[in-house]
Every structure is written in C-alpha cells, then in structure tokens.
Amino acid sequence: MNIVLHGINLQKEFIPFIEQLIDLLKNRGIRIFFTESFSKSFKKPHTKVTEANVITSMEEIKDMDFALSVGGDGTLLDTVIQVGRMETPIVGINTGRMGFLATVAKENIQKAINDLLEGKYSLESRTLVSLESSKPVFNGMNFALNEFTIHKRDTSSMIIVHTYINGQYLNSYWADGLIVATPTGSTGYSLSCGGPLITPGAKNFVITPVSPHNLNVRPIIVSDESVISFQIEGRSEKFLISLDSRSTAIDATVELKLKKADFSAMLVKFYGYSYFDTLRQKLNWGFDMRN
C-alpha cells in the first residue's frame, strides 16, 4: 500500500504525533511518500529525518492508495488540490482547531491507522465547484471544495455582482462580495455571513451575499446542476475572486461561470463518525455557559 502525507507549516508541538504516525505506517509495511510542502516542513532540525519518496507532480498521486492530510481544515482543502481529479481517498488528521473536515484527533492516530488498514471506514463523496473563465486563472486548478467568492479589492466602495442561474437573471447584489458555497462549505465563510447549514449529501449550492447594501437580500439555495454566471461592476478596476484559500485579481471584462465539477473529493470517514455530532461539538449547540 502507498500512502502520501501532506502538510503545510507544521508546528513544532505536533511533530511527536507526526513521528508516531510515520512509525505506525512503517511498522505496517506501508510505503510512505511526502508532498514537497510536507517534506520541507518536516525535515527541520527539531525532527527525526525520515527517508521517504517526495512526490513532485500530480501524476504521481494516481499510484497512491490514500492521502493523509496533517493539519487543520485548511490543510485538507489544500490536499484536495494536490489530489485533484485522481479522487484519491483523503484522511484528515486534525492538528488544527475546528476540524469540520479533518476529523481524526491527533490522540486517535493509532486507532485510525488500524481501522484504515482493516477497512473499517466508509468513503464520503463531496461535491466540488468548478470555475470557467474567459481568461486563465488559478493555473488550471479551477476547482474548490468549500466555496467560490467574488470580493471587492483595495476600496471601501461596494461592488455590484449581476448574477444569473442557467442564463436567467437572478439578482444584482450590491455588497462587499458574493459567495457560492457547496454543502461542505456551508459551515465556512458562508455561515459567518448568515448562510444556512446544508448536509453534505444535499445536491445544492448556496449563494450568500457578503455585507449586502439591502438587508432584505438573503442567501438562496439552488440546485448543484445549475450553471451560475456573473458580471461585476464597481469603482475599482480590479476585483478579487477566490477558490477556497486561493485568490487572484481580475478585471470586469473577465467572464465567469460556476458549476459542479465532474469529479469529487473522497473523504475517509471512520465508523462511529457523525456529521451531526461534529456540528453540535464545533458549534456548541446545546451548550449552557451557566453550567
């Protein structure tokens, strides 16, 4: 079995857990690979230098049985970019804070690896958004697990985002920006802007304005079979568009269309995992601060 480890800017206090993870894999006869960013972060003076092959291209990912994301939810989002169309199953080892996506606590690494190797898990297919633009952006990595965002740049003036669903006019959003989130992304930026929670299996997108000028403009849920297109106006010559944590500047002449990607992110979920348990724990539902 081949397993690739991916992480970004690994913190010193988590190194012992990562060394434990690598030892567990080695003892089970797993061939270990590192992504370039993981290799650079891990091979520092405060770590035990571990020999592992370094993957330098996405093509090499196709030979991997699993990808282990070591970090928080942001690292897992980046792991989805590393995997791309290969749909390699991703295991999220959580060394971050929230852990909506990276659900394996660092204290449970040994059990998680045992369950993984014994097949005690399920695969959860998560929808991705795919961006089409009239000019090349994001170096061809034009997909995201959480959300696509249009945002104002370098000005206090709001922007106008004319939005269409399957060619039909929806609305002109006067706002700081506009978010189109997947069900996975509904617990992220969209939620902080007043968007609803959507369960992972729902076949929907949610369009959420960022600080809209008109307070009666609310988020709207649309089918993920929709093609959503945009025209942007504003006083600034440039605007920001983002796919998860990756951003780039464009001008108003760039045509943008968003739709569901023709491939998915495959997340490993171990038996006993519950999405609703995660919601309650991370959002403190039912928590009484008086007790």
What are the residue numbers of the active site?
A: 73
Going by C-alpha positions, the residue among 207, 182, 184, 203 that lies closest to residue 130 is: 182
Measure the CA dihedral 25/27/32/34, to 10°.
60
Residues 6+ apart with CB under 8 A from 199: 183, 275
One-letter identity of residue 167: G
Give burial (CB, 10 Å; 0-12/13-18/19+) of 133: middle
